[in-house]
């Protein structure tokens, strides 16, 4: 199993996603002799998982069932153990596009955190690219290495435990892009410039506060970066539902036309527009925004090395 290479069957040691519903799923490490408890009953790894195909419907001990899904960076973002605040798919999508990443790209990242963005970057640059990720916190760096190894992507990533603001990324003039998610990104702009290729490399800095953005933009300008711009991505979700709207008063002529051609007692006319009109309302499918939405997460500042 690998997060960048699809496998048909579930094997021991795989990380699989147990899908109970769109709002309920969790990762599990598949091991012989292990059981996993769910609200629908027990899943026995040896009997219910190993050797089965990904996407299979598995019946639990209480008679309920779940789906076992192959892991992807998107599913991992939704289910990973949080060691830090993470980036979600909304920001990740614009980051990978604006940094112009593709298979074969070399990317530097700091900090690694919980590895949400890291997995997406690895999948984007695979199979010939590479991610150099720097994490200041030793335990988080070691945990990230362990996860990359378990997820079959360790050959595509190098994890370094050091302070990027003092020691940089450990590479020079090879990166196509640099991503910064640290408290003081302006202190790492010089190291980012050194890590980027001779010209044309892209940089992105994620910061939750506008004061951080201001200082970062000044540092980018000082080091000769161009095309500096800042974005804020807000996600607004719509639910598709049926709503009832009152029929407008179109005058006597419209009523006469409907009543002439419509026999309400005939079964074939049930549910027709004229049937709804006589009831005074008509049904429509409509997109309705949620009453609450995710607000500000952070600002994304992009620039190009000239």
Which parts are annotated binding residues for S-adenosyl-L-methionine? 114-117, 135, 163, 181
3-state secondary structure at position 167:
helix
- Cα three-residue angle 248-250-253, rounded to 5 degrees: 150
CB 214 within 8 A of CB 301: no
156 vs 259: CA distance, rounded Å: 71
- Give the DSSP letter of residue 215: H
Please say whether the beta carbons of 31 and 12 come within 8 A.
Answer: yes
d(CA 15, CA 27): 7
| Gap between the Cα atoms of 102 and 273, Å rounded | 52
109 DSSP 8-state letter = E
H-helix or E-strand spanning residue 273: helix 273-279
- Give the CA count within 13 Å in the CB-facing half-sphere of 234: 6
Which backbone phi and psi does 129 adopt, to 5 degrees? -85, -175
Q: Which residues are annotated as a binding site?
A: 114-117, 135, 163, 181
HSE, side-chain direction, 13 A CA sphere, residue 219? 21
In degrees rounded to 5, what are phi and psi of residue 102? -160, 170
């Amino acid at each position: 199993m690998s997060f960048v290479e699809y496998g048909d069957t579930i094997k021991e040691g795989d990380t699989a996603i147990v899908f109970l519903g769109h709002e309920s799923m969790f990762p599990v490490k598949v091991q012989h002799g292990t059981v996993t408890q769910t609200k629908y009953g027990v899943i026995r790894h040896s009997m219910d998982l190993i050797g089965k195909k990904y996407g299979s419907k598995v019946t639990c001990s209480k008679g309920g069932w779940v789906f076992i899904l192959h892991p992807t960076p998107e599913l991992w973002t939704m289910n990973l153990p949080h060691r830090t605040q993470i980036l979600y798919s909304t920001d990740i999508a614009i980051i990978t596009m604006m940094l112009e990443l593709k298979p074969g790209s070399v990317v530097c990242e700091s900090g690694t955190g919980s590895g949400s963005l890291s997995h997406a970057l690895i999948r984007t640059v695979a199979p010939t690219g590479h991610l150099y990720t720097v994490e200041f916190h030793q335990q988080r760096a070691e945990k990230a290495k362990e996860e990359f190894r378990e997820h079959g992507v360790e050959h595509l990533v190098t994890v370094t435990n050091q302070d990027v603001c003092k020691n940089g990324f450990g590479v020079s003039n090879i990166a196509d892009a640099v991503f910064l998610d640290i408290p003081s990104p302006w202190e790492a702009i010089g190291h980012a410039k050194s890590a980027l290729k001779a010209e044309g490399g892209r940089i992105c800095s994620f910061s939750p506060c506008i004061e951080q953005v201001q200082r970062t933009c000044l540092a980018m300008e000082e080091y000769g970066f161009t095309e500096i711009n800042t974005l804020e991505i807000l996600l607004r979700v719509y639910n598709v539902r049926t709503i009832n709207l009152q029929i407008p008063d179109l005058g006597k002529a419209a009523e006469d036309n409907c009543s002439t051609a419509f026999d309400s007692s005939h079964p074939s006319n049930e549910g027709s527009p004229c049937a709804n009109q006589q009831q005074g309302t008509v049904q429509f499918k409509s997109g309705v925004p949620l009453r609450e939405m995710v607000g500000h997460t952070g600002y994304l500042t992009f620039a190009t090395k000239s």
